[in-house]
A and B are shown apart, each in its own frame.
Chain A
Amino acid sequence: MLKAFFASKVAYILLIPGACIIFFPIFWIALTSLKTPPEIQIVPPTFFPKQLSNTTNYFEVFRREPFGNFILNSLFVASICSISSVFLSSLAGYGYAKFNFPGKNLFFFATVGMLMIPFQTIMVPLYLWLTRFGLLDTYVGIMTPFLVSAFGVFLMRVAIETIPSDYIDAARIDGCSDLRIFMQIILPSVKPALATLAIIKFMWTWNELLWPLIVTSSTSKYVVTLGLSSFTNMYFREYHLLTAAAALSMIPTIAIFLLFQKWVIRGVAMSGLKG
């Protein structure tokens, strides 16, 4: 008992300062974004800004670049990809979990095996496809690689497998079509898994840079990561603006994470345990 007491205390002594150190960079960016240029360039650097309510940098960011557009674009792309992923993954998950058709395991293996293929290997052919179909610099083009994930299919399969088959069979005997079974029995029973997948997919798509970078050329369609990157290229010495822009791009994902911590952490843990 005493040992357990001490073990916990040692953990606190190490973990709490560690957490502060880990958190510090984010905190520092937030503080810096509230400072004026002279305050930033003072050596030695000041810690707290003179005025905590100094939001001029943020307004200046919006004035220089259509940052609001960037955020809306990210919101749009991430939401559509999240919804599409949830829907298609759960359809497939249901198929793998509750049906037996010839070659089922082969198809599933092929789906999961796809995780082995790095995105960077297929991005050139995908880009050429988009060019051929005139989908460059379109929202559809930006969303193309992100509409379903193999992880999602796996997650939904595991979740749906826990639904008792008798329940489904009873509904089928009662004359329910499979689609109705899917919409009215399966989906409601796996709401936690659906939520987890939706949120993780949303956040992951939000944070993408490489593909939007390749595909987008008009500023009006930039997503936040791209917008932040180009903002940095243009105003690379104006640290008061850079930090404000970085902070702006972080606020949505951090907010979603804090709101839905349970889902996110559980989803991450499951992606590891599956290995």
Chain B
Amino acid sequence: MNAIPKRSLWDKFKCKEVVGFLFILPAFLYFVFVYYYPILQSLYISFHDWSPFAMRFVGLQMYRKVLFRSVFWHSMYITTYFVILSIPLTVIPALFIAILLNSIIRIKLRNILTVFYFLPFVVSLVAAALIWEWLLNPHYGFVNYLLERVGIPGQLWLRSPTQVIPSLAGINAWSRLGFDVILFLAALQTLPMELYEAAEIDGASKFQRFSHITLPLLNPQIILVVIIELIFDFKIFDQVYVTTQGGPANQSRVIILHLYDVAFKWFKMGQACVIGLMVFLLLLSLSFFQWRFFRRTVTY
């Protein structure tokens, strides 16, 4: 008579569910250690006066020090100004370029053109910033040369307190354009052709087809792209660090640059964590509000 084999402990352990859990475990543990635990730590440190020499619990004093001093709000203002300039400068051209690209029937040509538009995105922000710093050089830069050829006096661009943020916004737009173009292009290619055909039969003009079909259908994607750009632009650092370092006259002192200085030049970790948490809260609430406020469902 055959004995029914007893399931060993290992067999019981190895049931499907546990195995699945083991597969996701490495990545999940990594996230816990590298993201979730540090953010709790950030909260903890924000209640301390934390420097390389000492660590003292101070309650909300660090929050007071950060939030009641104008340097933080100045950085927020500069960053907001940058973001407000940069987003339309990036998203609107990207949308039009994507629509134009989408209308090109020959795929090979469309791909070649897409590569050109995406190339700036591939280059590191450091290299992009240097490229433009050179182009916008007041003395030897090509941009001023072109302007002077048409009779406009050369500008100071990155060296001018009033023009530095618009210039940085322009550089950012150049760099990020290709990314948004691809996102829009992908969305455009999911739009159903029948709608357009039906509209054309009904006599809708090109403009009407654009404003009544394309735009509403793309609405979710436009919001998504704006949120992506918003979150990314708020955190810019590379270009500013490499070119202006916050100047001239602190007019390009974006918030992450400020955070960097507070943490790694002045070693005030408590204050740095406060700034970091403020940025996190701001971005979280911005994405939340944008999503809820501007979302309109499209039914057809």
Which residues of A come within 8 Å of B, CB atoms?
4, 7-8, 10-12, 14-16, 18-20, 22-23, 25-26, 28-29, 32, 40-41, 43-45, 88-89, 91-92, 94-96, 98-102, 104, 107, 110-111, 114, 116-129, 144-145, 147-148, 150, 153, 178, 182, 203, 206-207, 209-210, 213-214, 224-225, 228-229, 232, 239, 242-243, 246, 249-250, 253-254, 257-258, 261, 264-265, 268-273, 275
Contacts and interface: CB of A to CB of B under 8 A. Distances in A.
B242 A125 contact: no
A229 B35 CA distance: 27
A254 B259 CA distance: 31
A88 B237 CA distance: 29
A126 to B, nearest CB: 5
A90 to B, nearest CB: 9
Main secondary structure of the interface of B (DSSP, over half): helix
Given A203-B122, A209-B126, A265-B118, A121 B277 contact: yes
B17 interface: yes
A224 B45 CA distance: 32
A41 to B, nearest CB: 6
A43 B221 contact: no
Interface in B218-245: 220-221, 224-225, 227-228, 231, 235, 237-238, 241-242
Contacts of B101: 11, 15
Contacts of A209: 124-126, 237-238, 241-242
B269 to A, nearest CB: 6
B143 to A, nearest CB: 10
Nearest to B278: A121
B117 interface: yes
Contacts of B37: 125
A269 B183 contact: yes
B263 A124 contact: yes
Given A126-B38, A207-B124, A118 B280 contact: yes
B116 A22 contact: yes
Interface of B: 16-28, 30-31, 34-39, 41-42, 45, 97, 100-101, 103-106, 111, 113-120, 122-127, 130-132, 134-135, 137, 139-140, 142, 145, 174, 177-179, 182-183, 185-187, 190, 220-221, 224-225, 227-228, 231, 235, 237-238, 241-242, 256, 259-260, 263-264, 269, 272-273, 276-277, 279-280, 283-284, 287
A275 B237 CA distance: 25
Contacts of A250: 123-124, 127
Nearest to B263: A124
B124 A225 contact: yes
B20 A101 contact: yes
In this complex, the member of B19, B38, B104, B227 whose beta carbon has the largest number of chain A beta carbons within 10 angstroms is B38
B235 to A, nearest CB: 6
Given A116-B284, A124-B276, A265-B182, A229 B235 contact: no
In this complex, the member of A32, A43, A117, A124 whose beta carbon has the largest number of chain B beta carbons within 10 angstroms is A124
A98 B20 contact: yes
B130 A242 contact: yes
B276 A122 contact: yes
A182 B110 CA distance: 38
Given A12-B104, A122-B35, A254-B123, 6 more contacts: A15-B101, A28-B142, A116-B287, A124-B273, A209-B126, A253-B123
A261 B115 contact: yes
A7 B123 CA distance: 32
Contacts of B130: 29, 228, 232, 242-243, 246
Nearest to B277: A121
B83 to A, nearest CB: 14
Contacts of A264: 118, 122
Contact of A107 (B24, B111, B273): B24
A225 B241 CA distance: 12
A12 B112 CA distance: 12
A8 B21 contact: no
Nearest to B242: A229
Contacts of B25: 95
Contact of B26 (A22, A92, A265): A92
B115 A129 contact: no
B231 to A, nearest CB: 8
Contact of A125 (B38, B106, B122): B38
B142 A268 contact: no
